[in-house]
Amino acid sequence: EAAVTQSPRNKVAVTGGKVTLSCNQTNNHNNMYWYRQDTGHGLRLIHYSYGAGSTEKGDIPDGYKASRPSQENFSLILELATPSQTSVYFCASGAAGEDTQYFGPGTRLLVL
């Protein structure tokens, strides 16, 4: 089964600080995704990527940047964290041409 790991698993940040969430997958999937999950909203797509060097905006990209330096790694960057970005963040991967997504365990972020 596809393996997706995320780090850190829990993070407390201060308003205005920079936060980097990391995701690694070991299944050579081309596609990777970042979502946030909040009560009442389900999973909302922030950024996604079709391969190393590519990033695409999802539905709620404001306040977030993404970086895909390699096939295995996909990072989500909050340059100036705000309390409204307190959430649980999920990374997922998927093979090109297939529509199954494999999710990581999530990162719980609290911005004070």
Q: Which residues bind other proteins (CB under 8 A)?
A: 4, 31, 33, 35, 40-45, 48, 56, 58-59, 90, 92, 94, 99-106
**Min separation Cβ 109 and other proteins, Å:** 15
**Min separation Cβ 46 and other proteins, Å:** 11
Phi, psi dihedral angles at 80 (to 5 degrees): -135, 90
Instruction: Name the residue nearer to other proteins (CB basis): 14 or 42.
Output: 42
Instruction: Name the residue nearer to other proteins (CB basis): 42 or 62.
Output: 42
What gap in Å lies between CA 94 and CA 102, rounded to an integer? 6
Instruction: Name the residue nearer to other proteins (CB basis): 62 or 99.
Output: 99
List Cβ neighbours of 6 (8 Å cut-off, separation of 6 or more). Answer: 21, 22, 23, 24, 89, 90, 91, 104, 105, 106, 107
Instruction: Name the residue nearer to other proteins (CB basis): 15 or 26.
Output: 26
Number of Cβ within 10 Å of residue 87's Cβ equals 20
